[in-house]
Amino acid sequence: MANVSKKLPQFTLGVEEEYMIIDPVTRDLRSHMSKIVEGGKITLKEQVKAEMHQSVVEVGTNICQNVAEARKEVAFLRNKIFELASVQGLVVGASSTHPFSKWQDQEITDDPRYHDIVNELKDIARSNLIFGLHVHVGIENRETALQLMNQACYFLPHIYALTTNSPFWEGRNTGFKAFRAKVFAKFPRTGLPEYFDSVQSYDNFLEILVKTNCIDNPKKIWWDLRMHPFFSTIEFRICDMCLTVDETICIVALIQAVVAKLYKLLLSNTSFNIYRIALIRENKFRAARNGVDGLLIDFGRKIEVPTKELIMELLDFVEDVVDELGSREEINYVHKILERGTGADQQLDVYEKTGSLEAVVDFITSKFTEGI
């Protein structure tokens, strides 16, 4: 008689997106976030919040039991922010950098938290005019969460490549599919997390930073993947903002499936290989530069492999958990991204055809509520 496999935990989800507020005439960013946030507080309450720059609005879902719930919440939030912006005569877009806006022209939100960050980091903070997608996956046990975090690092460049959506910066084609990470890298405590062998060593690390006034709370660790200091989640922070809801939910589903598969391996007393962060950093750089069109390193075989091939291998890796999670349709959207190109590919295509960064902005805003 075959062994009955253990049922996976639910792996609840939380999704945070950061949107750009845009003037429909100039196509430039507008420091008008406060009115949108104030309007949103009535219906969205804590699901909408200000960010450091007044041209950025952040939204977050409630705790979602599955990917289908996450889709409903993200779609609802995008619709609501679109409506609130329309009332102010503004439009909204989802890209990780604005094609031509300059950070020097943007106002900082009048909030003690942001004043403290600017006071500490100066122009590093003021120039951080970027927009990200953060995905939380619920894991109750911190020791398990740390093990999964250590192992999931290997897959971050694969996931990142699929989300690349920031090719322009201050009016220039940067040559990168995802320039956002290069902007954010100026901050301390960013990038890929180092390996920790126990929760105690992780907590000791945090304690030293707090005691020596490097940080006043653990939220100021801005790694690409972290154990959240206040929620029972691991938080994937590497992703660029996705143009559409379909792309966002595809990435959410893929992240959940990676965590579920790694957990399933733990149940079998096995684990995924843990590679040096310095090696994974090489793949992250390649993903940022070339998106899904370049080569990543297969560390097991010690060869370069087309990124698309490794992404297909990733889909094979998570295949046996997808149906239990109920996310096959959302995961299958990866094929559409590979076929059509990422947000960066689409932005660059518009620019190549029109020679106009304003046309690129129009394209970004036209995609914001697509498929809702």
Average pLDDT (12-30) is 96
Backbone torsions φ then ψ of 107, nearest 5 degrees: -85, 145
DSSP bridge pairs for 18: 58
Three-state secondary structure of 129-157: CCCEEEEEEECCCHHHHHHHHHHHHHHHH
Question: For 216-238, what is each residue's pLDDT tens digit?
Answer: 989 899 999 999 988 999 999 99
Give the number of C-alpha atoms closer than 13 A to the C-alpha of residue 155, restricted to the C-beta side.
Answer: 25
- Cα 174-166-125 angle, rounded to 5 deg: 90
Q: Is the pLDDT of residue 3 over 60?
A: no
pTM of the complete model:
0.95
Confidence of residue 157 (pLDDT cuts 50, 70, 90): very high
293 touches 337 (CB < 8 A): no
Residue ranges of domains in the chain, CATH in brackets: 13-367 (3.30.590.20)
Average pLDDT over residues 55-68: 96
Cα 184-187-192 angle, rounded to 5 deg? 70
Alpha-carbon separation of residue 215 from 53, 98, 117, 134, 229 (angstroms): 21, 29, 10, 21, 13
pLDDT at 106: 85
| Calpha distance 296→238 (Å, rounded) | 17
Q: Of the candidates 97, 17, 7, which has an alpha carbon nearest to the alpha carbon of residue 49?
A: 17
225: three-class secondary structure by DSSP: strand
In this structure, the number of other CB atoms found within 10 A of the CB of residue 200 comes to 11
For residues 340 and 342, give the distance between their C-alpha atoms in angstroms, rounded to a whole number: 7
Within 13 Å and on the Cβ side, how many CA atoms surround 16? 20
Q: 160 has which bridge partners?
A: none
Q: How confident is the model at residue 4 (pLDDT cuts 50, 70, 90)?
A: very low
Q: What is the mean pLDDT of residues 337-351?
A: 98
Higher pLDDT, 144 or 273: 144
Mean pLDDT value across the chain = 94
Render pLDDT for 90-126 as a digit per residue (tens, 0 to 9).
999 999 999 999 998 888 888 888 888 889 889 998 8
Q: Report the pLDDT value the prediction gives residue 110, as an integer from 0 to 100.
A: 80
Q: Which residues contact 120 (CB under 8 A, 6 or more apart)?
A: none
Predicted confidence at residue 79, as pLDDT, reads 97
